[in-house]
Structure 1
Amino acid sequence: MKAKQNYNKEILVMIKEKYGFSFDYIRKAIRGDRTGMIPDRMKTEYEKLTDQVKKTILIESQKL
């Protein structure tokens, strides 16, 4: 059984505001359950933003 994926809620909200799709659709696009240009774009943006969040957290934690 797969572990439940936790998504960054703030990033999901940004993508929802930009594209207007439901959170369910966005999560399915990120997982790859939805295909096409828009789902691919949403997945790419989510991954880029997630990477930026991780980098920012790492940088800020090293300052402490």
Structure 2
Amino acid sequence: MKTKPSYNQNALEIINGRYGYSYDYIRKSIRGDRVGVIPDRIKTEYNKLNNESIKAIAIQADKL
């Protein structure tokens, strides 16, 4: 059984605000369903934002 991937909603909102593309297009770009320069840029930016949010959460968890 395949599970539906979950995406960082905050990162999606930032990318949506920056580029103006729909959430569907952004998710398809991250998955690799769309090819080109812009989808590659979106995927790279999403990965950076997602990794930074994971680091920030880990730092806050360590402080508790």
Q: Which TM-score bucket, shorter chain as reference?
A: over 0.9
Q: Tell me the equivalent position of 2:36.
A: 36
- Structure 1 length as normaliser, TM-score? 0.94
Matched ranges for 1:4-43 at <5 A: 4-43=4-43
Aligned length: 64
Kindly report the root-mean-square deviation, in angstroms, between the aligned alpha carbons of the 2 structures: 0.8
- Structure 2 length as normaliser, TM-score? 0.94
Q: Which AA in structure 2 matches 1:48?
A: K
Structure 1 CA distance for aligned equivalents of residues 14 and 49 of structure 2: 10
Displacement of 1:8 in angstroms is 1.0
Gapped regions of structure 2 (runs ≥ 5): none
Displacement of 1:2 in angstroms is 2.3
Structure 2 CA distance for aligned equivalents of residues 57 and 10 of structure 1: 13
4+ residue segments displaced more than 4 Å: none
Structure 1 CA distance for aligned equivalents of residues 59 and 9 of structure 2: 21
Paired-residue identity, % = 56
Gapped regions of structure 1 (runs ≥ 5): none
Structure 2 CA distance for aligned equivalents of residues 35 and 54 of structure 1: 26
Q: Cα deviation per residue 1:24-50 (whole Å; 9 max; x = unaligned)?
A: 000000000001010000000000110
